[in-house]
Structure 1
C-alpha cells in the first residue's frame, strides 16, 4: 500500500503554537497522532507535545491494531499527562485534545480514536465518508437538535469541551472506532485541530480535496482558506493538520 503523507502546523494569531503532531511507522503499521493543548503558563504546549510523544512511543513499543488497544493507549496517554501535572505545579491546569490514527498496511485497514474536539476526516471517491464527533458542548446541542453546524461555529461556548486529556476518573471520555475501517485506493484521511475546521465547513474541505494534486497541496489550500476566513480575527487559533492519501 502506497501512502503519501503531509503536515501543516501554523501559529495563527497566537503568541505560541500549542498544537503538536507526529507519526511513526514500521513495515506493517503506521500511527499518526495530533493534539491541541491548553492550560496557561506554557502548559498547552507541554500537554500537546507530551500527548503526541507518549502515544507514538507507546504504540511503537507494542503496535496493536484493535479497538481495545487504542482505548488502553488513550487511557495510558491521559495518565502520562496527569503524572506531568502532578510533578509540575505550574502545569496543574494543562490539558490537551488528541486524535490518533492506526493503519495496518498489511490488512489495509484504519482504526482511530479521539478525545476532545480535534477531528479525523475520512474521504472515499472524493466524498466525505465519515468523521469523528466532538466531545463538546456544541456537539451535544447539535445532537439534541438545538443547534446546526453553522450555528456551532459561532456559538460563544464553542470551545467548551466535555473531555480532554488531563481529566480524571469519570470525567475522561474518549471515542474509538468500533472496528477497523477497510481502506481502498484513492482514500484520503485528515487529522486536524479545531483551529482549522472551525473556519471550514465539511463541504469546503471536500471541495479543496477535489482540486488538490497531492496531500501537501490540499493542506496548503486549506491553510490559505483559514487565513482568508480569519482575516478579521487577528487572534485566531493555531491550526494544524496531517493528511494521508492512499495510492491505487
Structure 2
C-alpha cells in the first residue's frame, strides 16, 4: 500500500514557510511509512511515521498516528513541551486500541516524529518515539537532531559505539520504544523548550530509511546547493538510492521525509 500524505506538497497560504514531502517504497514490497501536514493561518503541524508489525499492520499504525496527531493539533494547537508529550502518549493509546480491530493489526506499532509551529510567535515544538528523526539546520549547518529510542543509540550514549557506527551496526534496526508499546515500556521525547525560529531555519523530519543512507555532512552540503525544498528532497532521494546500490541493499527500507523552510535565508 502507498504511504499517506495529507495536504499538498507545498503550503501556498504560508508565504514565509515552504514545505515539501517525499515518500518512497525503497526496495520493499510495499510502503509502511506515512506522512502528512496541516496548517491554518497561524499554525503548522507535520508528522512522519514508520510502521511495522507485518501483514499490513505497519501501514495501518503509521496512518493512525499521522491522522490522530494532525486531528488533535488542528482541534487544539499545542504551545508547551508537556502538551507534545501528552499528545504522543494519547496517540500511543489510540494505536493500542486499534490493535483489536483485526488479526493483521494485533502486533502493529510505529515510530513517529512530529513538528508543531506557531507562526504568530515564531516558535517550534517537536516530539518523537522510535528512530524517526527531526533535524534542525541554520545557515546551512545542522544544529541539532533528535536522539533515537534504539539499541544503537543507547550504545553510543554508553560510550560503547561511535556515532558514525550507528548506520552500519548489525542491531541498528532494534528499537527500544515505538507507538503501540505498553505504557510502561513506552519512551517518548519532546523538545525541552520551544525553539525560536530564525529566518532561514530548515527542519527535516525523516524515517530511518533516509538518514541511514545520508549522513549529516551530505545533508548540509546538499541543502546549501538546493534552490528550494522540493529540489533538496529530490537530491536526498538520489543519495539514498545511490548509497543503497553501493551497499547492494536491494531490500532497503521505505524512506520518507518532510522539510519545512522558514524564509529563504538558508
The alignment's TM-score, normalised by the length of structure 1, stands at 0.98
What pairs with 1:148-163 in structure 2 (closer than 5 Å)?
A: 148-163=162-177
Show the counterpart of 1:179.
Answer: 193
Structure-1 separation of matches of 2:250 and 2:185: 33
Pair 1:28 & 2:28 matched = no
Show the counterpart of 2:103.
Answer: 89
Structure-1 separation of matches of 2:208 and 2:198: 27
Pair 1:236 & 2:266 matched = no
Aligned pair partner of 1:136 in 150, 158, 162? 150
Aligned pair partner of 1:13 in 19, 27, 30? 27
Pair 1:107 & 2:121 matched = yes
SS at match of 1:179: coil
Structure-1 separation of matches of 2:176 and 2:201: 31
Pair 1:122 & 2:136 matched = yes
Which residues of structure 1 form unaligned runs of 5+? none
Question: Which stretches of structure 1, 4 residues or more, deviate above 6 A after TM superposition?
Answer: none
Show the counterpart of 1:202.
Answer: 216
1:169 positional shift = 2.1
Structure-1 separation of matches of 2:73 and 2:79: 9
Structure-2 separation of matches of 1:59 and 1:181: 18
Report the aligned-residue RMSD: 0.9
Structure-1 separation of matches of 2:136 and 2:78: 21
SS at match of 1:54: helix
Deviations 1:195-243 (A, max 9, x none): 0000111111111101101011110000000000001211000000000
Which residues of structure 2 form unaligned runs of 5+? 1-14
Structure-2 separation of matches of 1:34 and 1:11: 14
Structure-1 separation of matches of 2:220 and 2:156: 21
Structure-2 separation of matches of 1:104 and 1:222: 27
Structure-2 separation of matches of 1:190 and 1:24: 16
The alignment's TM-score, normalised by the length of structure 2, stands at 0.91
1:27 positional shift = 1.4
